[in-house]
Structures are given as structure tokens and as C-alpha cells.
Amino acid sequence: MRTILSMFSKSPFKPLVSHINQVNECVNLITPLFEAYQSKNYGKVEEIAKDISDLEHKADQIKSDIRQHLPQSIFLPVDKRDFMRLLSAQDDIADAVEDLAVLMRIKNIDVPEDLSKLLVDLVNYVVGLANDACNMIRELEDLLEASFGGAEAEKVEEMALHLGVGEYEADKKQFLLAQKLFSLNDLGAADLFLLNELIKKLGAVADQSEKIGKTLHMFLSR
């Protein structure tokens, strides 16, 4: 509690940055997780999945501390509901990454070669988008110093626009990948279901990344 309160005393956004740092570490394990899975290094998959679970748990603890100990009297330069909406979007990214790791531990699947390239493309794209969203949170300190105006506000607006366009592109990649998946005739029902769920969870990471951009846009428009 003391740590969260001390963060709030320095800046209302420091706890959000502390939380997003844990989320970002989760995001950066998506690529090695998929690499281990596709190379059939299932021991490594287990190891990375445990790391993701530990990081997600730490992020959950920070989120709970923020919710429980957000001082009622503190002045927030933004609507408290938007502040909590932003925290939820951040946490949902970590949740989606943990869901990915859980799914990949359920069953070992030989990812068809026809699917592999499209899957790698989606993974790399989504990871890049989520990293951009995380970096956007780190701009909050500068945005506050600029009183939510000027060049810093323009920079954040551009980042929000980028996330919106990026999520749309991720949707298109997700659709093409799902279309390819369901065109394959040699996959069993369980493999088909599991791979489709993996694709949807990657889409969820992109969706929540865009939500961060939308929420920060609201910060600037109110």
C-alpha cells in the first residue's frame, strides 16, 4: 500500500506506468513463446508460460493495489472513470497473453507449414502494436507536464491514431489467418479449435492495445 501511495504522491500516473511495465514484459514473451511452440520445444514453452503467469500475477497485484488504495482526495487531471478504464485495458493485455500461454500448454500441435508464415506475421505485428500501446502510457508524465496540450498532445494523438489503424490491420491479418486455417483439411477438430483460439487471443491483445489509444484520446478531448 505504501508503495502505491508514494507513487501517487509523486504523480497520479506513476502507478499506471509501474503496471504497464509488467504488462510489457508479458508482451515481450509472446514471440519466444510462439518460437518455442513452433520448434516443438515444449519444455521451453512450459518455462516461458510460467514466466508469463508470474508477470501477470504481479500486474494483477499492482492493479488491485491501485484500485484499493487510490486516494479519494487525490486530484486526478483526468476523469477517474477514464483512469480506471485505462488500467483495465492494460490489465486485459496481460490477461490475453496469459490465456495464450495456457492454450499453448493444453496440446502440442504441429502447426501446418501453410499456416506458419501467416501466424508469425500476426504474432510480430500484434507484439509491435502492444509495445506501442505500452510506450504510449509512458508518455503520460510528459503529457501531464504539458498540461495535456501542445506538441506532446499532438504526439499522443498521433500515437492513438496509429493504434487505431494498427488494430484494423491486425483484424485483417487475423481474418486471413482464420480463413487459411479453416481451408485446411488435414487438421483434427481439437487442433482446429485450439489454433483458432490462439488467433482470437492474439486479436484480443490488439483490441486492448487500441483501447488504450482510445482512452488516451478521451483524456485529450475532455
Q: Closest by alpha carbon to 56, among 90, 6, 106, 84?
A: 90
Reported in sequence order, the residue ranges of the chain that DSSP labels E, i.e. its strands, are none
Which of 2-6, 9-13, 101-105, 169-173 is predicted least confidently? 2-6
The total of other beta-carbon atoms located within 10 Å of residue 22's CB is 21
What are the cell numbers at 144? 501531464
Run of H or E including 40: none
What are the cell numbers at 106? 493444453
Interior CA angle at 123 toward 121 and 127, to 5°? 120
Higher pLDDT, 14 or 222: 14
Is residue 112 pLDDT above 50, yes or no? Answer: yes
pLDDT at 217: 83
pLDDT at 133: 95
- To the nearest whole number, what is the mean pLDDT of the chain? 88
CATH class of 2-221: mainly alpha
pLDDT at 76: 60
Alpha-carbon distance of 119 to 96, in angstroms, equals 17
Q: Map grid coordinates 490489465 to a residue.
A: 91
Mean pLDDT of 167-180: 96
Is residue 1 pLDDT above 50, yes or no? Answer: no
Q: Closest by alpha carbon to 104, among 176, 42, 24, 32?
A: 42
Higher pLDDT, 218 or 86: 86
What residues have CB less than 8 Å from 127, skipping those under 6 apart?
27, 28, 30, 31
Secondary structure (DSSP) of 136-201: HHTTHHHHHHTTT-HHHHHHHHHHHHHHHHHHHHHHHHHHHHHHHHTT-SS--HHHHHHHHHHHHH
